[in-house]
Structure 1
Amino acid sequence: MGDLVSNVQVGCQGWNYKDWIAKPGEGGALYPQGTRPAEMLELYARFFRTVEVDSTFYGVPAASTIENWLRRTPPEFTFSLKLPQEITHTHALRRESFALLEEFCERARLFSKRLIAILIQLPPQFDATPENARALQEFLPRLPSELRFSIEFRNPEWMQDDVLDLLDQYGVSLALVEGIWLERAKLWRAAERMKTDFACVRFMGARDLTRFDVVQRAQDENLNSWREVIKRLAARMSNVHVCFSNYYEGHAPASANKLMRLLGQKTIEAKEVEKQPSLF
């Protein structure tokens, strides 16, 4: 176990996976046998302090849905949200997306202090053309300053100093993504020059896995390298938010626990939760 790094919140991308439910005679799953979908978030929150909500990528959540998420998790539990794809993909940050952006941000305010950040995930085809650069320049000023945003580029053309300076100007963090889209060394160099007080780190993987109940491709060496980057970020920022995809190793909870141990953080075994009564 590494030295304790307490201002890094580690979790998963989503919580509602049937493969995370234990099967008779098999170990390694997160949730006890017989867990219903409605029970998953409450159980998840006993293992991790944060989660990335993937469902907001597909639309603005109802206020009642957000209230339910908040009610089912303890007060210190936090959320990050993905901006709807209608904004990032369909309209590519153009003016046609501004009304939906305003609606989404209004809904996001319901999370209050329990909202870590809103992720602006751009597709690989959003390349660095003059038209897209202009769209980005017009979009960033419309982001409410009281909410935190992190932007994920999946096209390497955007990894330029003037783009990073523009993000700094509006207090938008560059999302640091382990994946196939950007060269890791360039991403880490960009991380060293980030001026925001928070960072979002996302661990992705090739989408060639069909089960998510066990690690199928260990990434221990990769995680060890990222640990040093994350520790340097945590040393100069108030908060670093890290979330794992099932596609990174095959079972996001196991990946999250690996990193937590590398950062000296306590992890909870599934068998400990199975015998505990509900706390909230």
Structure 2
Amino acid sequence: MAILVGTASWTDKTLIDCGRFYPKEAKTPEARLRYYASIFPLVEIDSSYYAIPDPVTAQHWVERTPEAFTFNAKAFRLFTGHQTDPKVMHKDIKEALGTTKTLYYRSTPPEIRAELWRRFIDALAPLRIGGKLGLVHFQFPPWLLCNPEGHAHVEHCVEMMEGHTVSIEFRHRSWLDEAHRAGTLDFLREMNAVHTIVDGPQGFDNSVPMLVETTHPDYALVRLHGRNTETYNARGAPSAAERFDYDYPDEEIRELVVEALRIAYRVRNTHIIFNNCDEDKGQRNGISFLKMLLAHG
């Protein structure tokens, strides 16, 4: 069994601006990734959610990290059903879309959807060939409900990523409420997809409980969003750093370490991702987690 710990991104603006995690000499993207990978064995690529990466960039990531390093990649936002600005697309795609201002998956022409899937898979190929691609993570929006339409879209995304290991994170309570959780877990098992165990703010329609269940023989994924109920759904479209502004106290980290050890006995690889991405909170909490994990032997 292996427990890998990392954070959601290594390039957040507030992380770099705070000046506490990276040494002063780590001034370039290459230097920052090399430093990050000297501390953590895992990272989640957050930028792939906002725009499909260039395969050349992915090849650089392979070359700048140790042999055993692992990248999880977030799926491009259009695929998960989030609204997408065509400005983030490749030039030829933008031209083909013409004057379209806002794009949703269901309204995207089928030939363009197919081409975007192809390019996304191509972008991940260097990581996969280099043996460094872990999970491809689909974080679905709060408006994707546990209903036939929701099931069909999740199944479609998993089918499009055939040959990859896909993790699924739901953000509407209907998927994991008492009436539906058993069916949702069975649904994920049937697709051989990884159920994402979420620690996050509770009490909202876009909250899901921390359901500690595994659905894949090789992988478990725990994503830690913090527990800040005041900022999670704050008005005025807060940034990710503001939404997930939370510093896990040592007592909570100890509890999470114990839970991770329990999970790790069920699967070959357990991934722990800190997504409390305000300044260096995720990195500090991740380092504390690693130290406590070592103390458990």
Structure 2 counterpart of 1:270? none
Q: Is the 8 Å Cα contact of residues 204 and 248 (structure 1) preserved in structure 2?
A: no
TM-score calculated relative to the size of structure 2: 0.74
2:258 is matched with which residue?
Answer: 228
Q: Mapping of 1:89-108 within 5 angstroms?
A: 89-90=82-83, 91=104, 96=110, 97-108=113-124
Counterpart position of 2:208: 182
- TM-score, normalising length from structure 1? 0.78
Quickly say closer, same or farther: Cα 1:232–1:37, change in 2 above 3 A. Answer: same
Residue of 213, 218, 223 corresponding to 1:202: 223
What's the offset of the Cα at 1:154? 0.7
* Deviation per residue, 1:216-237 (Å, 9 max, x gap): 7443332222222211221121
**Contact kept? 1:172, 1:196, Cα under 8 Å:** no
- Give the 3 Å change call, closer, same or farther, for CA 107–22 of structure 1 in structure 2: closer
Deviation for aligned residue 1:141: 2.8
Name the residue aligned to 1:147: 164
Unaligned stretches of 5+ residues in structure 1: 1-5, 267-280
**Structure 2 residue matching 1:264: 3-state secondary structure:** helix
Shift of 1:9: 0.7
Residue type at the aligned position of 1:114: K
Pair 1:161–1:99, CA change in 2 (3 A): farther
Structure of higher RCO (CA pairs closer than 8 Å, 6+ residues apart): 1
1:243 maps to which of 245, 260, 273: 273
Partner of 1:83: 75
Partner-residue secondary structure (3-state), 1:236: coil
- Aligned-residue identity in percent: 26
Aligned residue runs from structure 1 range 48-59, under 5 A? 48-59=40-51
Distance 1:81 1:139, change over 3 A: closer
How has the CA–CA distance of structure 1 residues 134 and 224 changed in structure 2, closer, same or farther, with 3 Å as cutoff? same
Equivalent pair of 1:168/1:196 in contact (CA under 8 Å): no
Matched to 2:56, the amino acid is S
User: 1:51, 1:243 within 8 Å by CA — same for their partners in 2?
Assistant: yes
* 8 Å contact from structure 1 (residues 199, 233) kept in 2: yes
Residue by residue over 1:20-49, the C-alpha shift from the partner in whole angstroms, topping out at 9 and shown as x without a partner, is 4598xxxx9221124313221111111111
Q: Output the aligned Cα RMSD.
A: 3.0
Q: Structure 2: which 5+ residue stretches go unaligned?
A: 84-103, 202-206, 233-237
How many residue pairs end up in the alignment?
Answer: 249
Find out whether 1:167 has 2:188 as its counterpart.
yes
Equivalent residue of 2:68, what SS? coil
Structure 2 residue 90 is the aligned partner of structure 1 residue 69:
no
